[in-house]
Structure 1
């Protein structure tokens, strides 16, 4: 263990240098392409990296700086997820901001005569607040995830899975740190702290790298979804009572087109593609789907895929094929998506459905 600890400075320098290069690339591409997502993530990652570096310097050489960069990064992440949905300052946002600023001021000032014995209590409080902010960030991302389903029939490659995973992992380690600091506050030094410190150090570097790669791959999709969601929302607000014959006819044309050309078999089918086929606007089609089928585009297309599966499963030509093979033929990218939608529509599992009709 001691020999491993001796090489930590070298590993720290290596990962720090690598992450600085990746973060710089994310920031530069974000500025060049005017991708706000990249810029926000780059700034967030940079604050994380500063916290990791200063934490290591504090442990190795007693160098200390009272500013909590890690909490600042989490606040930036929360702010971005908040404005994705609301696009304005709300009371909830102001409350979180004020709470975070107060804690940051305590970290920055840290008057020894007042906080010398209570300093660790403040650290525990900061971890608890970070957990709260991360939970709220997950809630915001969950709400935004629903907006994706208004624009794409498959959200496997266009969702916020990578970003949510990072937040989940940050939440996991904040809970560990909270437990560790609370234990230290109650019983003093323990061996768990050293192991946790080393583990969290390397996890932190790899999480920064992972989130950087995610930012590079997903910048354009997020900007596109943001724009489409805004247009759909504006249309619904302005045209709440839109039930004209023209829209009904357009919806019927959409259903006929899907059945005739079996477009639902395309796993990457998008609202934009259908709008071009129908010579209409994607926000009009989305509104009609909402109004006439009482569901979103994602679920609407998957209903057709489920019906196609029910036809194929009883076709003698497919008797030798597995269920998984037939699922792929129906346009589903994910087996879990298929099973969840099948149970939702048929109120039973695929196997129970097949047994019921065959026997």
Structure 2
């Protein structure tokens, strides 16, 4: 089977791997679509993502959807063969349908598909056949296309983060700093959560057009002379993973407001004027992946076709190198996906 594998910095390949047989209690998913995440881009370009360095060939990908292809012996809880599913990339993970917080997403010994955080690495989902535990699978509603469903994992990340803001969101004026795929999904999630006004800022026009398509009431290109008023927002969401973006968010929020750090900042120390946080008595929320929100993300995607606007490009698995170049260029792309197997919805 074909797989998208990084072997080191700048060394991304489409390899041929042996097809797996499902182990007892496990299932095989024929992966149809895989969304390219910022962590995949870092692994491909730099051979590392934050503190995690590639020391062996690593199959990338953790935003994947597909169809159940086979079940191993004793996989009694598995969805039937042919079921369209989204895959939860974490092990352990919250069980399907869980509503109460489990905290499993903060387990320091947990694994995540396509991550070099473990030795050996946890191989990812950009493969034609992916072995998974039944508890990782979420059947998809009949009316939800697989191509839109590939947004379930990043949307779950966003829903987990915005939920940390709680009831503050309803009726609020919100700034989203960074309108890439995560920022655009944050705009949509905030709209659904009842925000009154959502302003998206970025340095490129393409992400801002995407943000407007999913619900931003105002967009501002900071590289084209645009600016953001100081202390004009109740809340801010930092979605770019950039220190300058966090500084913008802290400056833009009113006294007593809150900032959600949704983007991934560098592990190293960063220079931020924390005196602003003190003087304004701001609340700064961190957010790590997601816990029980995958089911809610799937339901939201099924109910709102406007999420299709986040999906800008799709490439075949053989075109993985070009797909990664596209995904790394925010001047022309939003969410770029790999089409790994034939889409039964097409």
Q: TM-score range by the shorter chain?
A: under 0.3
Question: What TM-score, normalized by structure 2, do the two folds share?
Answer: 0.24
From the two aligned structures, give the one with the greater strand fraction: 2
From the two aligned structures, give the one with the greater helix fraction: 1
Question: What TM-score, normalized by structure 1, do the two folds share?
Answer: 0.23
Larger radius of gyration: 1
